[in-house]
Structure 1
Amino acid sequence: MPKHESINYLEFASRDLNESKSFFNTVFGWSFTDYGPDYTAFSLSNLDGGFFSSEQVKTADQGAPLTVFYSAKLDETLNKVRQAGGRITRDIFDFPGGRRFHFKEPGGNEMAVWSE
């Protein structure tokens, strides 16, 4: 049962559902369930969500929320993102509390990965 008043589900726009699915499967090990040609869902241990087909995808610099992943091996994750077709939009940098990088996945979403 979902926790009362917690974030329960996230949906992301994608310009290419198949590329987004392949990317997140390769980098993060996600699996998907398709619901028709324009929607696919994922279920993680702590969050459920999906991707819907859309030509318009917003980025953080346009005011969209920034999804941030955690990695214990930041350099290794950066290489996996590149190898899976992600585009690094901000290389690894230091911030108070750790290091992180930003990337765009093939469907157009900008996200980030951080580490201590």
Structure 2
Amino acid sequence: MNIHGKLNYVEFAAVDLDATKAFFSKAFAWSFTDYGPDYTAFADVGLDGGFYRAPLSAKVESGSALLVFYSATLEETRNEIVRAGGSILKEIYEFPGGRRFHFAEPSGNEFAVWSDPL
């Protein structure tokens, strides 16, 4: 649903669209709609968005916003991300209010996953 003044869509660069699509499909069961060879979109995953072909990636160290997933089973989600081809940038750590880790998908975009405290 589109709501005035609310976040609605996010876009990321992706060096390898096919690898990025395969990763999110395997790790999070996302599906994609291609719009030509250089753009693919995702929907119904919490926030709609897409990936466009470009030699760039979103990383916290360069000032990028960090999109954070929620998981009820943090360790299982971490392991699934690795099995799907993601790389762990920061291992699981505690923070006030929960635990989380950071990962990169095959095109290098950084995301995090958080969970409630133990």
TM-score range, shorter chain: over 0.9
Give, in angstroms, the shift of residue 58 of structure 1: 3.0
1:111 aligns with 2:118: no
Which residue is equivalent to 1:53? 53
On the 8 A contact 2:12/2:58 being kept in 1, the answer is no
Give, in angstroms, the shift of residue 92 of structure 1: 0.2
CA distance in 2, matches of 1:67, 1:45: 12
1:79-94 paired onto structure 2 within 5 Å: 79-94=79-94
For each residue in 1:57-110, what CA deviation from the matched residue of structure 2 results, as whole angstroms up to 9, or x when unmatched? 130110000010000000000000000110000000000000000000001100
Amino acid at match of 2:87: R
Amino acid at match of 2:109: N
Amino acid at match of 1:72: A
Cα root mean square deviation, aligned: 0.9
Q: Which runs of 4+ in 1 moved over 3 A?
A: none
Amino acid at match of 1:54: A
Amino acid at match of 1:28: F
CA distance in 1, matches of 2:34, 2:103: 25
Which residue is equivalent to 2:75? 75
- Calculate percent identity across the aligned residue pairs: 56
CA distance in 1, matches of 2:91, 2:9: 29
Give, in angstroms, the shift of residue 48 of structure 1: 1.2
Give, in angstroms, the shift of residue 47 of structure 1: 2.1
Aligned pairs, number: 116
Structure 1, unaligned runs of 5 or more: none
Amino acid at match of 1:94: E
Give, in angstroms, the shift of residue 46 of structure 1: 3.7
Structure 2, unaligned runs of 5 or more: none
